[in-house]
Amino acid sequence: MRTIFSVMLCLCTIASGYGQSFKQTGIASFYANKFEGRMTANGEKYKHSKLTAAHKTLPFGTILQVKNLKNGKEVTVRVNDRGPFVEGRIIDLSKSAAKKLGFINKGITEVEIVSIANSDELRKTYSSLDRPANESRELPDKYYSLSVKEQKMSGYGVQIGSYREMVNLVQLVDELQKTYKNQVFIQVSVIQDVKYYKIIVGQLKNRQKADILHDKLNQNYPGSFVIKF
């Protein structure tokens, strides 16, 4: 079942969710230099110096212990983005995390990732691991005016991501509308009793205009793609 809503940016800042016990083995890569300062999927700006990561499904805020299976080195990171969008890879790491794991010169490596923050105590312990010492831990509440209605769609749009949680979704929609001056839609899909929220930018009359929008979006959201309604 699929329903599409138009979102005309009321919600306060939403607390990040933390994953349950989780373990995965596969290929890791790291962010290219061009992503420095760009917006991540949870609304933060990516910084090479922070110990963060992109994962396809884990909730934002999940703390992961990442082990390089080639040399035994380990690093602790926080999930704040979606990806990687290359087949066969399970995690994208910040450049500083990749340096700690010792695979900067190789580009990719085989890793084991394990979630380790499953309690309030652990969350507090790791919540500031990638923040400067003088940076406040408390973020001010943000309020948004929100108007949602079911929408009949036609033409083309650009899908930038699919999410299983609503964490910071409103902030991301707001940022997209301000930056790209196009209406943003949320497609709600239910697959095997699990809800997925797909963010789609634009409702364009032809493929050529959709391709132009896609070229702009793909600079900040690699893996985005054109869809036909």
Question: How does pLDDT run across 91-126, given as a tens digit for each residue?
Answer: 999 999 999 999 999 999 999 999 885 444 444 444
Q: Please answer whether residues 209 and 156 qualify as being in contact, where contact means their C-beta atoms are separated by less than 8 angstroms.
A: yes
Dihedral sign (CA 67, 73, 75, 79): negative
Q: Tell me the whole-structure pTM to 2 decimals.
A: 0.51
Q: What is the pLDDT of residue 12?
A: 35
Any idea which of 76-80, 188-192, 205-209, 213-217 has the lowest mean pLDDT?
188-192
Q: What is the pLDDT of residue 8?
A: 59
Q: What is the pLDDT of residue 118?
A: 46
Q: How many CB atoms lie within 10 A of CB 164?
A: 14
Q: Please answer whether residues 17 and 59 qualify as being in contact, where contact means their C-beta atoms are separated by less than 8 angstroms.
A: yes
Task: Tell me the CATH number for domain 23-126.
Answer: 2.40.40.10
Q: What are the two backbone dihedrals, phi and then psi, of residue 119, each rounded to the nearest 5 degrees?
A: -140, 160
Q: What is the pLDDT of residue 117?
A: 54
Question: Residue 74's beta-bridge partner residues?
Answer: 67
36-68 tens-digit pLDDT: 998 888 878 899 999 999 998 888 888 899 999
Work out the pLDDT band at 15, boundaries 50, 70, 90.
Answer: very low
In 207-222, which positions are buried (b, 16+ CB within 10 angstroms) versus exposed (e)? eeebeebbeebeebbb
167-207 tens-digit pLDDT: 567 777 888 888 888 999 988 887 777 777 888 999 999 99
CA distance 220 to 228: 21
What is the greatest pairwise CA distance in the chain? 53
Which 3 state secondary structure label does DSSP give 177?
A: helix
Superfamily of domain 2-13+142-228: Sporulation related repeat (3.30.70.1070)
Q: Where are the domains of the chain?
A: 2-13+142-228, 23-126
> Higher pLDDT residue, 77 or 144?
77
Nearest to 84 by CA among 45, 27, 130, 35: 27
The gap from C-alpha 156 to its chain's centroid, in whole angstroms, comes to 23
